[in-house]
Amino acid sequence: MTPLQLGIIGCGTIGSVHAQAAAASEQIELAAVADVDRGSAEKAAAAHRVEKVYNSGAELLADPQIEAVVLALPALFRVELGLQALRAGKHLLTEKPVARSAGEVRQLISAQGDRVAACCSSRFHFLESTRAVTDYIVQGRLGALRLLRCRAIFPATPAPETPPPAWRLSRELNGGGILVNWGCYDLDYLLGISGWRLRPQTALAQSWRVPVTFADTVAPASDGETHIAGLVRCADGIALTYERGEYAAAQAETSWEVIGETGSLRLQMTPAQAKEILHFEASRAEGTVSRTLWAGSDSYRDIHRALLEDFATAIRTGRPPKTTLTQALLVQQITDALYRSAETGEAVEVK
C-alpha cells in the first residue's frame, strides 16, 4: 500500500502523539505539520524529520501533496478547518469531541462527499479486548440487551503545579467539560461494542461544576462540568446509565458493564496490564456463575498507531473507518440531550 501523505494541524500534546504514531507506521508518511505557534510546529517537525512546516492549517490544506489531515486542536477551531479540509478534497481524521454540537457534525457530513472522515473517539475499539467483547455481544451471547453502564470517578488530588489547559473545561472552546472530554469515548465504546444498534430516545441528567475547594486547580474562567450523571432510555427496552466525575470527594472507580437477559460482561475500556473481562451467566441449575472471557495486557501506544492505520486503510480500500461521522453524530446527539436535560432539569428527547 502506498504510504498516505499525512498532515497534522495542531502540534500540542495530542498532536505530538499523532506525529509519533504516524512516524512509526509504514502505512503513513508524515509530510507536513502546522501550528499557529511556530515553535511547536518546528519542534514536531525536527523530532520526526518532517520537511514542511506551516504557520496555519489553511496553509497546510493548500499543499497539493497532502492527501489527509489530522485535526489536533480545540473543538472551537476543528469544525471550520474540517470543512475547509473536506472542501479541499482532503480526507479527515478529527480529534474528539468531533464538534461542539450535533448541528456542527451535520455540517461536516454535508461537506464530506466521497472523502473518508474518521473520529478519534474510536481509540479504544482497537484493543484486542474490545474486539473480543464486540464479537461476543454482537453474536447475541448475552441474550436481549437490557442495560449498558459506565461509572468512572477520578478522586480529587493535591493541587497540580500548573492548571489544566484553558480549553479542557470550556464550553466555548471544547463544547463542555468531562462529558465531552471522556464521554465521547465512553459512549462510542458502549455503542460500538453493541454493534451501533442502540436507538436512544430520551435522556435525563444532572451535572455539577468543580467543587469550590478545588476551584483554583482548573484554568480561570472554566465553565464546563466536572461531574455528570444521566440515564438514556433506548428503543427495545434498553437503557444506558452514565456517570463521570473528576475532582470528586469519592473513591476511585472505573467500570463499564453490559447486562443482557441471560448474561453480562464486566469490562474495562482503557488499556491496562493484567486486564480481565468477566462474563456472568445465569442458569436454572447453577444460578449465576462467572468466568474469564478475556485476559491479557494492552497499552495506549498500540491504540494511537492503530487509529491512524485504520484511517489510512479506510482511505486506500474504500471501507469505512472504525467510527464514522454518522456514528459520531449519534454520540453527539446523546451528549447534547444530556446537557440540555442537565440545564433544564427535565427529560429531553434525543433527536
pLDDT cut 90: percent of the chain above it: 90
Among the residue ranges 103-117, 191-205, 279-293, the one predicted with the least confidence is 279-293
Q: Is the per-residue pLDDT at 282 higher than 90?
A: no
Q: How far apart are CA 163 and CA 161, in angstroms?
A: 7
Band of residue 334 on the pLDDT scale cut at 50, 70, 90: very high
**Are residues 168 and 174 in contact, defined by beta-carbon separation less than 8 angstroms?**
yes
- The residues pairing with 228 across neighbouring beta strands, listed in sequence order, are 207, 244
Q: For position 217, what pLDDT does the model report?
A: 86
Q: For position 163, what pLDDT does the model report?
A: 76
Strands 117-119 and 91-94: parallel
What are the grid coordinates assigned to 333, written together?
A: 446527539
Torsional sign, CA 115, 116, 120, 121: positive
Backbone dihedral angles phi then psi of residue 298, each to the nearest 5 degrees: -150, 170
What are the grid coordinates assigned to 279, written together?
A: 462474563
Q: Is 141 helix (H, G, I), strand (E, B) or coil?
A: coil
What are the grid coordinates assigned to 281, written together?
A: 451467566
Angle between helices 13-23 and 38-48 (to 10 degrees): 20
Residue found by looking up cell 449519534 in the block: 330
Q: How far apart are CA 262 and CA 283, in angstroms?
A: 8
Q: How far apart are CA 110 and CA 284, in angstroms?
A: 52
Residues 58-102: tens digit of each pLDDT: 999 999 999 999 999 999 999 999 999 999 999 999 999 999 999
Q: Is the per-residue pLDDT at 33 higher than 90?
A: yes
Backbone dihedral angles phi then psi of residue 226, each to the nearest 5 degrees: -110, 0
What are the grid coordinates assigned to 311, written together?
A: 484511517
Measuring CA to CA, how many Å separate 250 from each of 154, 155, 247, 253, 257? 8, 6, 9, 9, 20
Identify the CA nearest to 123 among candidates 333, 325, 321.
321
Q: For position 303, what pLDDT does the model report?
A: 93
Output DSSP code: residue 203: E
Which domains are assigned to the chain? Answer: 4-123+303-323 (3.40.50.720), 124-299+331-349 (3.30.360.10)
